[in-house]
Amino acid sequence: MNNPSFNFPMSVRERIGGIIYIPLHCWVIPILVVLIDELSDKMNCGEAVLNLLIYAVGFLFCLLFMWKFLKKSFEDIFENKVRFFARVMSSFGLYYVLSAVVSWIVVAAVGDYELAINPNSANINALVRENFNVMAVMSVIFAPVVEESMFRGALFGTIRKKSRFWAYAVTIVFFAFYHLYAYFITDYSWQLWVYLLQYVPATFVLCRLYEKSGTIWCPIALHALINLVALYAAKLL
């Protein structure tokens, strides 16, 4: 099974563009947005709004550069609504089972339940409580489209044509480090290596869902659902 037949594959141009955009989204655009905010007396945006702006740029990029890819696969949802819903919900259940296992491993490794919450998740939880609406738009609308288009559609989809193992391995590593790389630079601790495990269940399940469904909108919907549940959980803390 080395040559999967995605129902709606990205074109070569879209895959290359998506892979090129990953470092832009991770480093270049955030730096530019922060610099503009610091240099402008009128902006003075908070962290939540800055994150929203970064993802808004990515969302616009996906709509402009990957419109055909997103549009074709979106139309398939209405033709296969029951199958679409079943795949997303079954993957949602699998995600939480795997997350529970990983959570137990992380707690055992760090030795304290409170310390098992990684700094990225803790920061997001704080931002949710400060500005729920902004974080909701970013987490449930922008982030799923941007991250799934880049990591599943472009990165995983490209490598998957050559090797299933390396497609999963590379995407899992990149997606995990994507969420924590800033802390490796600014606030390093050995626990960060353990926290990387927390992103394995989501990455694995999202890749698996894209591979089995053949449409990027299945992992986009699952990603949005996972973020929505986490969003309300953070609000209730």
The mean pLDDT of the chain is 93
Contacts of 92 (CB under 8 A, 6+ apart): 222, 225, 226
In a domain, residue 168? The reply is yes
Q: What is the pLDDT of residues 125-144, one digit of tens each?
A: 999 999 999 999 999 999 99
Q: What pLDDT shows up at residue 43?
A: 67
- Residues sharing a CB contact under 8 Å with residue 219, sequence separation 6 or more, in sequence order: 144, 148, 152, 206, 207, 209, 210, 213
Going by pLDDT thresholds of 50, 70 and 90, the confidence category of residue 4 is: low
Residue 194 lies in a domain: yes
What confidence score (pLDDT) does residue 2 get? 53
**Does residue 51 belong to any structural domain of this protein?**
yes
Tell me which residue range forms the domain holding 101: 12-236
Q: Record the pTM.
A: 0.95
| The total number of structural domains that make up the chain | 1
CB-side neighbour CA atoms (13 Å) of 174: 21
**Is the confidence at residue 1, as pLDDT, over 60?**
no
Binned at pLDDT 50, 70 and 90, residue 192 comes out as very high
**Is residue 187 in some structural domain?**
yes
Query: Does the pLDDT value for residue 69 go beyond 90?
Result: yes
Residue 171 within a domain: yes
Give tens-digit pLDDT for 20-56: 999 999 999 999 998 988 887 666 789 999 999 999 9
Work out the percent of the chain whose per-residue pLDDT is above 90. Answer: 81
User: In the prediction, which pLDDT does 38 show?
Assistant: 84
Residues 6 or more apart in contact with residue 216 via CB below 8 angstroms: 8, 69, 70, 73, 148, 149, 152, 153, 210
Within-domain flag for 7: no
Please give the average per-residue pLDDT across 55-70, as a whole number: 96
- What's the mean pLDDT in 157-173? 96
Q: Please check whether residue 6 lies inside any domain of the structure.
A: no
Indicate whether 5 belongs to any domain. Answer: no
